Amino acid sequence: MIFIFDNMTDPLDFATIIFVAFESPETHKFVFVGKPKEFYFELLTKDKIRSFLQTYYPNLGVDFKKEIGKRFYFVDDFNTVIRLFRKKKYDIIGTTPNKDESTDVFAERFDEKSVFVFGSENGLSKAKKDMLARLVHYPLKKAKFLKIRHVLPLFHSAVRRKA
């Protein structure tokens, strides 16, 4: 499974992605689109992020850099990465909080050729959504929107169970 994060800039969201990645099977890949890898290296130096992650991963800085090209990837252009996965016959699935335009994540089946796309703090644009095969949502009771740091662990757990 592949998880794409489009223009993700929130440091705590980034920390959550790293945490989820290190708790995932090694076959799961995490792709950051729209920012250079140096931007994310800089996030790792922030005290709040380091203290959060180093509670679980004392050697995080070294481990993160070792995993680049194995588990973590950085791509400049959203369209390029989507075209690449489409060409390789991956099922490209967008995530959204909008249940009116999507299917409940628990109602779907996924496999290792599933790509999940998470938008920035503003969500995926209409043009980007139009490039995807379909949209899924994690059912929320009262909230209309959750940050990646809240929904990714729940979503990741749900799709792993459905694979």
The total domain count for the chain is 1
Which range marks the domain in which residue 74 is found? 2-162
Q: What's residue 144's pLDDT?
A: 67
Q: What's residue 163's pLDDT?
A: 58
The CATH number linked to 103 is 3.40.1280.10
Q: Please give the order of strands across the beta sheet that includes 29-33.
A: 72-75, 29-33, 2-6, 114-118, 91-95, 134-137, 103-104
pLDDT band of residue 92 (cuts 50, 70, 90) is very high
pTM over 0.75: yes
User: And the tokens for 128?
Assistant: 């980007």
User: And the tokens for 88?
Assistant: 């390789």
- The CA-atom distances, in angstroms, between 10 and each of 16, 20, 29, 127, 160 are 10, 15, 20, 23, 25
User: Would you say residue 65 has pLDDT above 80?
Assistant: no
Mean pLDDT of the chain, nearest integer = 86
pLDDT band of residue 12 (cuts 50, 70, 90) is confident
Pairing of strands 29-33, 72-75: parallel
- The CA-atom distances, in angstroms, between 51 and each of 15, 59, 114 are 10, 12, 32
User: Would you say residue 91 has pLDDT above 90?
Assistant: yes
Count of all residues that appear for the chain in the document? 163
pLDDT band of residue 49 (cuts 50, 70, 90) is confident
**Residue 141 DSSP SS3:** coil
Q: How far apart are the C-alpha atoms of 52 and 64, rounded to whole Å?
A: 14
Residue type, 28: H
Who wins on pLDDT, 61 or 78? 78
User: Would you say residue 50 has pLDDT above 90?
Assistant: no
